Structure 1
């Protein structure tokens, strides 16, 4: 299960959690090459994005990934 994303996580940490999160990070237009060690909070401030909205959207992706993982684990146990 993936942990909840926080504002103090770096872009690199988030992107490495799952390909879906990597894609979600890219859609915001963050510089994932040169500033990937920046925190999500700093990255949002630099882009003028609403941190709470970005956190909410990224954590929805985390919830979806965790739900799918849970379903897979349940089906394997059956």
Structure 2
């Protein structure tokens, strides 16, 4: 199960959790190459994005991943 994402996590930490989160960060337009060590909060500030909106979307992805993992475990 993946932990909830918070604004102090680095982009790299989030990207490394799951490919779906990597894709979500790319869709927001974050610099996933050079700025990956920046915190989500700082990256949102640099892009002019609302950190709470980004957190909500990323944690929806986490919830979806955890739900799928739970279903798989229950059916093994």
* TM-score category (smaller protein): over 0.9
Distance in 2 (alpha carbons) for counterparts of 1:55 and 1:10: 12
Distance in 1 (alpha carbons) for counterparts of 2:7 and 2:32: 16
State the TM-score, normalizing by the size of structure 1. 0.97
Structure 2 stretches lacking a partner, 5+ long: none
The number of residues matched between the two structures is 76
Which residue in 2 is equivalent to 1:66? 66
Which residue in 2 is equivalent to 1:49? 49
Structure 1 stretches lacking a partner, 5+ long: none
Aligned residue runs from structure 1 range 1-78, under 5 A: 1-76=1-76
State the TM-score, normalizing by the size of structure 2. 0.99
Distance in 2 (alpha carbons) for counterparts of 1:38 and 1:58: 16
Distance in 2 (alpha carbons) for counterparts of 1:19 and 1:31: 16
Which is higher, the Rg of structure 1 or of structure 2? 1
Distance in 1 (alpha carbons) for counterparts of 2:20 and 2:34: 21
Q: RMSD value over aligned CA atoms?
A: 0.3
Structure 1 stretches of 4+ with a deviation exceeding 3 A read: none
